[in-house]
Chain A
Protein backbone atom coordinates (compact mmCIF):
# COMPACT_ATOMS: atom_id res chain seq x y z
CA UNK A 1 0.00 0.00 0.00
CA UNK A 2 1.27 3.43 -0.88
CA UNK A 3 1.29 5.83 1.99
CA UNK A 4 0.62 9.50 1.29
CA UNK A 5 2.51 12.35 2.93
CA UNK A 6 0.87 15.65 3.75
CA UNK A 7 2.31 17.13 0.58
CA UNK A 8 0.65 14.47 -1.54
CA UNK A 9 3.78 12.82 -2.91
CA UNK A 10 3.91 9.07 -2.58
CA UNK A 11 6.17 8.09 0.21
CA UNK A 12 8.51 5.21 0.56
CA UNK A 13 11.57 5.08 2.77
CA UNK A 14 13.70 5.38 -0.37
CA UNK A 15 11.99 8.55 -1.51
CA UNK A 16 12.10 10.08 1.96
CA UNK A 17 15.79 9.32 2.11
CA UNK A 18 16.35 10.85 -1.31
CA UNK A 19 14.45 13.98 -0.27
CA UNK A 20 16.58 14.23 2.85
CA UNK A 21 19.80 13.79 0.88
CA UNK A 22 18.60 16.31 -1.70
CA UNK A 23 17.63 18.95 0.82
CA UNK A 24 20.68 18.42 2.99
CA UNK A 25 22.79 21.05 1.26
CA UNK A 26 24.19 24.27 2.62
CA UNK A 27 22.78 27.68 1.77
CA UNK A 28 24.62 29.74 -0.78
CA UNK A 29 25.61 33.30 0.02
CA UNK A 30 23.37 35.23 -2.33
CA UNK A 31 24.32 38.75 -1.23
CA UNK A 32 26.79 39.21 -4.07
CA UNK A 33 24.37 37.76 -6.62
CA UNK A 34 21.61 40.06 -5.37
CA UNK A 35 23.87 43.07 -5.76
CA UNK A 36 24.91 41.97 -9.21
CA UNK A 37 21.29 41.36 -10.27
CA UNK A 38 20.44 44.93 -9.31
CA UNK A 39 23.49 46.17 -11.17
CA UNK A 40 22.60 44.23 -14.35
CA UNK A 41 18.98 45.40 -14.12
CA UNK A 42 20.04 49.02 -13.96
CA UNK A 43 22.71 48.55 -16.63
CA UNK A 44 20.06 47.20 -19.03
CA UNK A 45 18.03 50.34 -18.48
CA UNK A 46 21.06 52.60 -18.75
CA UNK A 47 22.03 51.01 -22.09
CA UNK A 48 18.50 51.49 -23.35
CA UNK A 49 18.48 55.12 -22.13
CA UNK A 50 21.85 55.83 -23.77
CA UNK A 51 20.69 54.41 -27.10
CA UNK A 52 17.59 56.61 -26.97
CA UNK A 53 19.68 59.68 -26.02
CA UNK A 54 22.22 58.99 -28.81
CA UNK A 55 19.40 58.62 -31.33
CA UNK A 56 17.88 61.89 -30.13
CA UNK A 57 21.21 63.76 -30.18
CA UNK A 58 21.96 62.34 -33.64
CA UNK A 59 18.55 63.45 -34.83
CA UNK A 60 19.19 66.99 -33.54
CA UNK A 61 22.68 67.19 -35.07
CA UNK A 62 21.53 65.95 -38.48
CA UNK A 63 18.50 68.24 -38.35
CA UNK A 64 20.89 71.17 -37.85
CA UNK A 65 22.55 70.31 -41.19
CA UNK A 66 19.22 70.75 -42.97
CA UNK A 67 19.16 74.29 -41.55
CA UNK A 68 22.35 75.09 -43.55
CA UNK A 69 20.05 75.29 -46.62
CA UNK A 70 22.44 73.87 -49.22
CA UNK A 71 21.68 70.77 -51.30
CA UNK A 72 24.59 68.65 -49.94
CA UNK A 73 23.78 69.53 -46.32
CA UNK A 74 20.08 68.78 -46.86
CA UNK A 75 20.86 65.36 -48.36
CA UNK A 76 23.38 64.61 -45.60
CA UNK A 77 20.99 65.77 -42.86
CA UNK A 78 18.04 63.81 -44.29
CA UNK A 79 19.95 60.55 -44.51
CA UNK A 80 21.31 61.11 -41.00
CA UNK A 81 17.82 61.72 -39.64
CA UNK A 82 16.65 58.49 -41.26
CA UNK A 83 19.50 56.65 -39.51
CA UNK A 84 18.59 58.20 -36.15
CA UNK A 85 14.94 57.20 -36.52
CA UNK A 86 15.90 53.62 -37.44
CA UNK A 87 18.26 53.45 -34.42
CA UNK A 88 15.47 54.71 -32.18
CA UNK A 89 13.09 52.07 -33.53
CA UNK A 90 15.74 49.32 -33.19
CA UNK A 91 16.35 50.21 -29.52
CA UNK A 92 12.71 49.30 -28.81
CA UNK A 93 12.48 46.46 -31.29
CA UNK A 94 15.25 44.31 -29.84
CA UNK A 95 13.94 44.74 -26.31
CA UNK A 96 10.26 44.11 -26.83
CA UNK A 97 8.99 41.97 -23.98
CA UNK A 98 12.49 41.27 -22.72
CA UNK A 99 12.01 42.62 -19.24
CA UNK A 100 8.85 40.87 -18.13
CA UNK A 101 8.73 37.27 -19.22
CA UNK A 102 10.47 35.35 -16.44
CA UNK A 103 7.33 34.29 -14.59
CA UNK A 104 5.55 32.84 -17.62
CA UNK A 105 5.37 29.09 -18.23
CA UNK A 106 8.57 27.35 -19.34
CA UNK A 107 7.25 26.61 -22.83
CA UNK A 108 6.14 30.22 -23.37
CA UNK A 109 9.51 31.41 -22.10
CA UNK A 110 11.40 29.09 -24.46
CA UNK A 111 9.26 30.26 -27.39
CA UNK A 112 9.83 33.84 -26.35
CA UNK A 113 13.58 33.27 -26.27
CA UNK A 114 13.45 31.74 -29.74
CA UNK A 115 11.66 34.84 -31.00
CA UNK A 116 14.15 37.03 -29.20
CA UNK A 117 17.14 35.25 -30.71
CA UNK A 118 15.51 35.50 -34.14
CA UNK A 119 14.93 39.22 -33.66
CA UNK A 120 18.58 39.62 -32.58
CA UNK A 121 19.68 38.00 -35.84
CA UNK A 122 17.32 40.27 -37.74
CA UNK A 123 18.71 43.25 -35.81
CA UNK A 124 22.27 42.35 -36.83
CA UNK A 125 21.17 41.90 -40.45
CA UNK A 126 19.42 45.27 -40.39
CA UNK A 127 22.60 46.79 -38.97
CA UNK A 128 24.64 45.20 -41.75
CA UNK A 129 22.35 46.75 -44.35
CA UNK A 130 22.45 50.03 -42.45
CA UNK A 131 26.24 49.88 -42.51
CA UNK A 132 26.19 49.46 -46.28
CA UNK A 133 23.61 52.21 -46.53
CA UNK A 134 25.97 54.36 -44.46
CA UNK A 135 28.18 54.48 -47.54
CA UNK A 136 25.49 56.74 -49.02
CA UNK A 137 25.71 58.87 -45.88
CA UNK A 138 29.47 59.04 -46.32
CA UNK A 139 29.13 59.97 -49.96
CA UNK A 140 26.79 62.75 -48.86
CA UNK A 141 29.34 63.75 -46.20
CA UNK A 142 32.07 63.96 -48.85
CA UNK A 143 29.82 66.05 -51.05
CA UNK A 144 29.08 68.36 -48.13
CA UNK A 145 32.75 68.49 -47.20
CA UNK A 146 34.02 69.44 -50.64
CA UNK A 147 31.19 71.93 -51.00
CA UNK A 148 32.79 73.78 -48.07
CA UNK A 149 36.38 72.99 -49.07
CA UNK A 150 37.42 76.60 -49.57
CA UNK A 151 36.93 77.38 -45.88
CA UNK A 152 38.87 74.33 -44.60
CA UNK A 153 42.63 74.03 -44.00
CA UNK A 154 44.86 71.11 -45.02
CA UNK A 155 45.01 69.72 -41.51
CA UNK A 156 41.22 69.36 -41.41
CA UNK A 157 41.12 67.77 -44.85
CA UNK A 158 43.66 65.15 -43.75
CA UNK A 159 41.76 64.44 -40.53
CA UNK A 160 38.50 64.13 -42.44
CA UNK A 161 39.99 61.76 -44.99
CA UNK A 162 41.50 59.53 -42.27
CA UNK A 163 38.16 59.46 -40.46
CA UNK A 164 36.30 58.52 -43.63
CA UNK A 165 38.86 55.79 -44.41
CA UNK A 166 38.42 54.37 -40.91
CA UNK A 167 34.64 54.39 -41.28
CA UNK A 168 34.77 52.60 -44.63
CA UNK A 169 36.96 49.92 -43.01
CA UNK A 170 34.46 49.53 -40.14
CA UNK A 171 31.57 49.23 -42.60
CA UNK A 172 33.26 46.49 -44.60
CA UNK A 173 34.41 44.63 -41.49
CA UNK A 174 31.05 44.80 -39.72
CA UNK A 175 29.45 41.72 -41.40
CA UNK A 176 32.57 39.64 -40.70
CA UNK A 177 32.81 40.77 -37.08
CA UNK A 178 29.15 39.98 -36.41
CA UNK A 179 29.16 36.61 -38.17
CA UNK A 180 30.23 34.59 -35.05
CA UNK A 181 27.43 36.26 -33.07
CA UNK A 182 24.86 35.31 -35.70
CA UNK A 183 26.21 31.75 -35.82
CA UNK A 184 25.94 31.47 -32.01
CA UNK A 185 22.36 32.74 -32.15
CA UNK A 186 21.47 30.21 -34.86
CA UNK A 187 22.90 27.43 -32.66
CA UNK A 188 20.99 28.82 -29.69
CA UNK A 189 17.74 28.71 -31.66
CA UNK A 190 18.38 25.08 -32.61
CA UNK A 191 18.98 24.14 -28.98
CA UNK A 192 15.95 26.10 -27.82
CA UNK A 193 13.81 24.33 -30.40
CA UNK A 194 15.02 20.99 -29.05
CA UNK A 195 14.02 22.11 -25.56
CA UNK A 196 10.67 23.30 -26.88
CA UNK A 197 10.12 19.80 -28.24
CA UNK A 198 11.13 18.19 -24.98
CA UNK A 199 8.69 20.38 -23.12
CA UNK A 200 5.91 19.23 -25.43
CA UNK A 201 6.61 15.59 -24.69
CA UNK A 202 3.04 14.64 -25.54
CA UNK A 203 3.70 15.56 -29.16
CA UNK A 204 5.61 12.77 -30.94
CA UNK A 205 6.32 15.05 -33.93
CA UNK A 206 9.15 16.55 -31.89
CA UNK A 207 10.91 13.23 -31.34
CA UNK A 208 12.78 13.40 -34.61
CA UNK A 209 13.99 16.86 -33.84
CA UNK A 210 11.61 18.62 -36.24
Chain B
Protein backbone atom coordinates (compact mmCIF):
# COMPACT_ATOMS: atom_id res chain seq x y z
CA UNK B 1 0.00 0.00 0.00
CA UNK B 2 1.63 3.23 -1.19
CA UNK B 3 0.96 5.68 1.62
CA UNK B 4 2.10 8.73 -0.31
CA UNK B 5 -0.08 7.90 -3.32
CA UNK B 6 -3.16 7.28 -1.13
CA UNK B 7 -2.60 10.52 0.71
CA UNK B 8 -2.22 12.41 -2.54
CA UNK B 9 -5.30 10.77 -4.09
CA UNK B 10 -7.53 11.84 -1.20
CA UNK B 11 -5.79 15.11 -0.42
CA UNK B 12 -8.66 17.33 -1.55
CA UNK B 13 -11.17 15.40 0.56
CA UNK B 14 -8.83 15.46 3.56
CA UNK B 15 -8.33 19.20 3.17
CA UNK B 16 -12.10 19.75 3.11
CA UNK B 17 -12.74 17.56 6.14
CA UNK B 18 -10.01 19.34 8.08
CA UNK B 19 -11.28 22.79 7.08
CA UNK B 20 -14.77 21.87 8.28
CA UNK B 21 -13.36 21.37 11.79
CA UNK B 22 -10.68 24.05 11.96
CA UNK B 23 -11.04 27.59 10.68
CA UNK B 24 -7.52 28.82 11.32
CA UNK B 25 -5.31 28.09 8.27
CA UNK B 26 -2.19 27.63 10.42
CA UNK B 27 -3.97 25.16 12.68
CA UNK B 28 -5.41 23.42 9.63
CA UNK B 29 -1.85 22.54 8.68
CA UNK B 30 -1.31 21.15 12.14
CA UNK B 31 -4.48 19.03 11.98
CA UNK B 32 -3.55 17.92 8.46
CA UNK B 33 -0.25 16.71 9.89
CA UNK B 34 -2.06 14.82 12.64
CA UNK B 35 -4.39 13.29 10.07
CA UNK B 36 -1.52 12.14 7.87
CA UNK B 37 0.21 10.56 10.87
CA UNK B 38 -3.04 8.83 11.90
CA UNK B 39 -3.40 7.50 8.34
CA UNK B 40 0.20 6.32 8.30
CA UNK B 41 -0.59 4.31 11.42
CA UNK B 42 -4.06 3.15 10.37
CA UNK B 43 -3.66 2.23 6.69
CA UNK B 44 -1.78 -1.05 7.27
CA UNK B 45 -4.81 -2.21 9.26
CA UNK B 46 -7.26 -1.60 6.41
CA UNK B 47 -8.74 -5.02 5.71
CA UNK B 48 -10.48 -4.16 2.44
CA UNK B 49 -14.01 -4.29 3.84
CA UNK B 50 -15.71 -1.17 2.47
CA UNK B 51 -14.07 1.46 0.36
CA UNK B 52 -10.61 2.84 1.01
CA UNK B 53 -12.01 6.35 0.57
CA UNK B 54 -14.51 5.68 3.36
CA UNK B 55 -11.77 4.35 5.62
CA UNK B 56 -9.56 7.38 4.94
CA UNK B 57 -12.49 9.72 5.64
CA UNK B 58 -13.29 7.88 8.88
CA UNK B 59 -9.72 8.14 10.18
CA UNK B 60 -9.58 11.82 9.19
CA UNK B 61 -12.92 12.58 10.88
CA UNK B 62 -11.80 10.86 14.07
CA UNK B 63 -8.53 12.75 14.15
CA UNK B 64 -10.29 16.05 13.53
CA UNK B 65 -12.78 15.42 16.33
CA UNK B 66 -10.02 14.86 18.81
CA UNK B 67 -8.30 18.02 17.68
CA UNK B 68 -9.88 19.97 20.49
CA UNK B 69 -7.91 23.16 20.14
CA UNK B 70 -10.38 24.05 17.40
CA UNK B 71 -13.04 24.65 20.03
CA UNK B 72 -15.39 27.48 19.27
CA UNK B 73 -13.48 29.81 17.04
CA UNK B 74 -15.07 32.75 15.36
CA UNK B 75 -15.65 32.02 11.70
CA UNK B 76 -13.40 34.12 9.60
CA UNK B 77 -13.39 35.02 5.96
CA UNK B 78 -11.00 32.87 3.98
CA UNK B 79 -8.68 34.41 1.46
CA UNK B 80 -9.33 33.76 -2.20
CA UNK B 81 -7.42 30.76 -3.40
CA UNK B 82 -5.65 31.35 -6.70
CA UNK B 83 -5.63 27.61 -7.36
CA UNK B 84 -9.37 27.72 -7.81
CA UNK B 85 -9.05 29.42 -11.19
CA UNK B 86 -10.48 27.20 -13.87
CA UNK B 87 -10.90 27.63 -17.60
CA UNK B 88 -13.86 29.78 -18.54
CA UNK B 89 -14.29 31.29 -15.08
CA UNK B 90 -14.83 35.00 -15.09
CA UNK B 91 -13.53 36.94 -12.09
CA UNK B 92 -17.13 37.54 -10.96
CA UNK B 93 -17.94 33.83 -11.14
CA UNK B 94 -14.79 33.03 -9.22
CA UNK B 95 -15.59 35.48 -6.44
CA UNK B 96 -19.20 34.27 -6.29
CA UNK B 97 -18.14 30.64 -6.08
CA UNK B 98 -15.51 31.28 -3.43
CA UNK B 99 -18.02 33.27 -1.43
CA UNK B 100 -20.53 30.42 -1.56
CA UNK B 101 -17.82 27.97 -0.53
CA UNK B 102 -16.80 30.15 2.40
CA UNK B 103 -20.45 30.48 3.49
CA UNK B 104 -20.90 26.73 3.24
CA UNK B 105 -17.80 26.14 5.36
CA UNK B 106 -19.02 28.55 8.01
CA UNK B 107 -22.42 26.85 8.05
CA UNK B 108 -20.86 23.37 8.30
CA UNK B 109 -18.57 24.44 11.13
CA UNK B 110 -21.54 25.82 13.04
CA UNK B 111 -23.33 22.44 13.01
CA UNK B 112 -23.35 20.28 16.14
CA UNK B 113 -20.56 17.72 16.05
CA UNK B 114 -22.65 14.66 15.23
CA UNK B 115 -24.42 16.47 12.39
CA UNK B 116 -21.15 17.91 11.12
CA UNK B 117 -19.70 14.42 10.83
CA UNK B 118 -22.62 13.32 8.67
CA UNK B 119 -22.67 16.50 6.62
CA UNK B 120 -19.02 16.48 5.60
CA UNK B 121 -19.30 12.86 4.47
CA UNK B 122 -22.58 13.53 2.63
CA UNK B 123 -21.02 16.52 0.88
CA UNK B 124 -18.18 14.23 -0.18
CA UNK B 125 -20.81 12.05 -1.87
CA UNK B 126 -20.92 9.14 0.57
CA UNK B 127 -24.19 7.20 0.76
CA UNK B 128 -26.16 6.89 4.01
CA UNK B 129 -24.96 3.31 4.29
CA UNK B 130 -21.32 4.36 3.90
CA UNK B 131 -21.79 7.23 6.37
CA UNK B 132 -23.31 4.81 8.86
CA UNK B 133 -20.38 2.42 8.44
CA UNK B 134 -17.81 5.19 8.79
CA UNK B 135 -19.39 6.63 11.92
CA UNK B 136 -20.47 3.37 13.51
CA UNK B 137 -24.18 4.24 13.40
CA UNK B 138 -27.13 2.65 11.58
CA UNK B 139 -28.13 3.70 8.08
CA UNK B 140 -31.43 5.01 9.45
CA UNK B 141 -29.65 7.07 12.08
CA UNK B 142 -27.37 8.48 9.37
CA UNK B 143 -30.44 9.37 7.32
CA UNK B 144 -32.14 11.11 10.27
CA UNK B 145 -28.99 13.05 11.14
CA UNK B 146 -28.50 14.03 7.52
CA UNK B 147 -32.03 15.31 7.28
CA UNK B 148 -31.60 17.41 10.46
CA UNK B 149 -28.23 18.65 9.26
CA UNK B 150 -29.62 19.68 5.91
CA UNK B 151 -32.40 21.69 7.52
CA UNK B 152 -29.95 23.46 9.82
CA UNK B 153 -27.56 24.07 6.95
CA UNK B 154 -30.31 25.61 4.86
CA UNK B 155 -31.33 27.93 7.72
CA UNK B 156 -27.74 28.91 8.37
CA UNK B 157 -26.99 29.64 4.71
CA UNK B 158 -30.21 31.59 4.35
CA UNK B 159 -29.28 33.58 7.46
CA UNK B 160 -25.88 34.42 6.00
CA UNK B 161 -27.44 35.59 2.73
CA UNK B 162 -30.06 37.69 4.53
CA UNK B 163 -27.59 39.02 7.08
Are A and B part of the same complex?
Answer: yes
Q: Which residues of A contact B (CB under 8 A)?
A: 7-10, 14-15, 18-19, 21-31, 33-34, 36-38, 40-41, 99-100, 102-107, 109-110, 113, 188, 191-192, 194-195, 198-199, 201
Which residues of chain A have C-beta atoms less than 8 A from B106's C-beta? none
Q: Are A102 and B135 in contact (CB under 8 A)?
A: no
Whether, in the assembled complex, B109 has its beta carbon less than 8 Å from a beta carbon of chain A, the answer is: no
User: Which residues 56-84 of B sit at the A interface, judged by CB distance below 8 A?
Assistant: 58-59, 61-63, 65-66, 68, 71, 81, 83-84
Supply 13 further A-B pairs (C-beta < 8 A) apart from A106-B65, A194-B71, A195-B65.
A7-B130, A9-B122, A10-B150, A21-B101, A23-B124, A27-B12, A28-B11, A102-B62, A105-B136, A110-B66, A195-B66, A195-B68, A199-B113
What CA separation (Å) do A192 and B70 show in the bound complex? 11
Count CB-based A-B contacts (< 8 Å): 149
CB distance from B78 to the nearest CB of A (A): 11
What CA separation (Å) do A24 and B72 show in the bound complex? 26
Q: Are B63 and A18 in contact (CB under 8 A)?
A: no
Given A28-B32, A99-B41, residue A7 in contact with residue B7 (CB < 8 A): no
Most buried by B among A21, A31, A33, A195: A33
Q: Are B3 and A103 in contact (CB under 8 A)?
A: no
What CA separation (Å) do A199 and B38 show in the bound complex? 20
- Residue of A22, A27, A37, A105 near B36 (CB, 8 A) is A37
Which residues of chain B have C-beta atoms less than 8 A from A201's C-beta? 112-114
Whether, in the assembled complex, B37 has its beta carbon less than 8 Å from a beta carbon of chain A, the answer is: yes
Main SS of the interface on chain B?
Answer: helix
What CA separation (Å) do A8 and B114 show in the bound complex? 19
Which residues of chain B have C-beta atoms less than 8 A from A38's C-beta? 3, 40
Which residues of chain A have C-beta atoms less than 8 A from B55's C-beta? 103
Q: Are A109 and B66 in contact (CB under 8 A)?
A: yes
Q: Are B65 and A110 in contact (CB under 8 A)?
A: yes
CB distance from B74 to the nearest CB of A (A): 17
Which residues of chain A have C-beta atoms less than 8 A from B40's C-beta? 34, 37-38, 41
Whether, in the assembled complex, B39 has its beta carbon less than 8 Å from a beta carbon of chain A, the answer is: yes
Most buried by B among A9, A15, A100: A9
The 4 closest A-B pairs by CB, nearest first: A102-B38, A26-B83, A8-B127, A7-B127
- Residue of B14, B114, B150 near A15 (CB, 8 A) is B150
